[in-house]
Amino acid sequence: MSINVHIKGLGHHVPEKILSNQDLEKIVDTSDEWITSRTGISNRHIVEDETCVDLAYEASLKALKKAGLEADDLTHIIVATFTGDRPLPSASCLLMERLGIKQKAAMDIAAACSGFVYGLETARAFIALHPESKILVVGSEILTSRVNWKDRSTCVLFGDGAGAAVLTGDDGAEHDGKLLDVVISADGALSMALAIKGGGSALPYHLGDNVGEEYFIEMRGREVFKHAVRNMASISKEVLARHGYTTDDVDVLVPHQANQRIIEAVGKKLSIPVEKVFSNVSRFGNTSAASIPIALSEAKEIGAIKEGDLVLVTTFGGGLTWGSALLQF
Ligand code: ACO
């Protein structure tokens, strides 16, 4: 089914404070050399007192401005996050309140790092049902709130940030680009490869409990790495093939910004030359659901994505979940 989905505007926002590899050397037994050679990350932005919704709000304002729309024009608000301000209510309801609007549909998506791409597919479905929809899709994360600062194998990887996109059906007005297609997938059998075990109904908090390591991110890094590369490459080929494209047709590849080695391995597996692969992981680290919208927004802003470009997005995260989107600018 062909659905006309326009990308009206993109925006991103990261907190001001930077945590460098040198800063991390003072917190855990690590080194700038280890972190840069294994991950390509040098810095990450981290919050001081802002919340997930604070970052989402700033990114949303920028996306709305680029879209030439007011918040009240929106019909749906979708926030992808696993680090919302509170377990209840949803980040999307809090964002709606912050935007000063009422009586819109609002929902959060729990697909970890793949959440923004899952959000794009959800927006496509809403637009297919209601072509007049104007949908805000946001990825916003405060990863530093769920990182175990005593675990050097994970705490060096993550950063905080938010990115947003405004999507509409074909309303005849100007737009940045088109969302041609999305494919999403998951495998729950691998759920414990990347997990926060505590804090849900399987391992709830009890009044007076000490907060142990099980309430923070745990990851089997090598396993995640292997599945990330394999699945991002295969789902990318799938979304391209649905439109008769090959990887040769791709002008820019925007992969989930998890780790420079994963980014390069995906590019290599898809035979997409390195100069077509967008990366900002060295400055932001892995911002989970915010990584793709931050990368898209920044790439557009600095001219790495130009008018006419066919852009392939691919993502991977806890769940395990993964997905790809095809955009025509
Ligand atoms: N500093 C110094 N040494 C470290 C650090 C650190 N920060 N972290 C781990 N090490 C040590 C380990 O203890 C181990 O030491 P040992 O050999 O004495 O036991 C050694 O380095 C090698 O550890 P590995 O985990 O095997 O290192 P690897 O090369 O696999 O790199 C990494 C680890 C970077 C985590 C890698 O596995 C990876 O990138 N995996 C994918 C992770 C990822 O990006 N996940 C996110 C995707 S999904 C999402 O975005 C939520």
Domain harbouring 153, CATH code: 3.40.47.10
Domain boundary among 143, 175, 207: 175
Of 193, 231, 252, 245, the closest CA to residue 316 belongs to 231
Q: Does residue 221 lie within any of the structural domains? A: yes
Q: Does residue 1 lie within any of the structural domains? A: no
Q: Are 324 and 232 in contact (CB under 8 A)?
A: yes
Distance between CA atoms of 268 and 67, rounded to whole angstroms? 34
Looking at the fold, whether 228 and 306 belong to one and the same domain comes out as yes
125's tokens: 């479905």
Looking at the fold, whether 229 and 140 belong to one and the same domain comes out as no
pLDDT at 173: 78
Looking at the fold, whether 142 and 107 belong to one and the same domain comes out as yes
Looking at the fold, whether 215 and 168 belong to one and the same domain comes out as no
Distance 251 CA to ligand 1 centre (A): 31
Looking at the fold, whether 15 and 28 belong to one and the same domain comes out as yes
Which domain range does residue 29 map to? Answer: 6-175
Q: Does residue 169 lie within any of the structural domains? A: yes
Q: Of these residues, 21, 52, 76, 113, which one is catalytic? A: 113
Specify the number of domains making up the chain. Answer: 2
Of 280, 275, 237, the closest CA to residue 255 belongs to 280
Per the annotation, the verdict on 155 as an active-site residue is no
Looking at the fold, whether 125 and 222 belong to one and the same domain comes out as no
pLDDT at 240: 98
Distance 12 CA to ligand 1 centre (A): 28
Give residue 26's Cα distance to chain centre: 29
Domain boundary among 127, 143, 175: 175
Looking at the fold, whether 188 and 249 belong to one and the same domain comes out as yes
pLDDT at 43: 98
181's tokens: 């297609």
Q: Does residue 209 lie within any of the structural domains? A: yes
Q: Does residue 149 lie within any of the structural domains? A: yes
Looking at the fold, whether 246 and 294 belong to one and the same domain comes out as yes
250's tokens: 């791709």
Tens place of pLDDT for every residue, the chain, 329 residues?
Answer: 678 899 999 999 999 999 999 999 999 999 999 999 999 999 999 999 999 999 999 999 999 999 999 999 999 999 999 999 999 999 999 999 999 999 999 999 999 999 999 999 999 999 999 999 999 999 999 999 999 999 999 999 999 999 999 999 988 777 889 999 999 999 999 999 999 999 999 999 999 988 999 999 999 999 999 999 999 999 999 999 999 999 999 999 999 999 999 999 999 999 999 999 999 999 999 999 999 999 999 999 999 999 999 999 999 999 999 999 999 99
Looking at the fold, whether 199 and 128 belong to one and the same domain comes out as no
Domain boundary among 175, 192, 225: 175
Q: What pTM did the predictor assign?
A: 0.96
pLDDT at 1: 64
Distance 1 CA to ligand 1 centre (A): 42
Interacting residues of 324 by C-beta distance below 8 A, sequence separation 6+: 117, 182, 183, 232, 235, 236, 238, 239, 312, 313, 314, 315
pLDDT at 172: 79
Q: Is the CB of 196 under 6 A from ligand 1?
A: no
Nearest CA to ligand 1 atom 20: 153
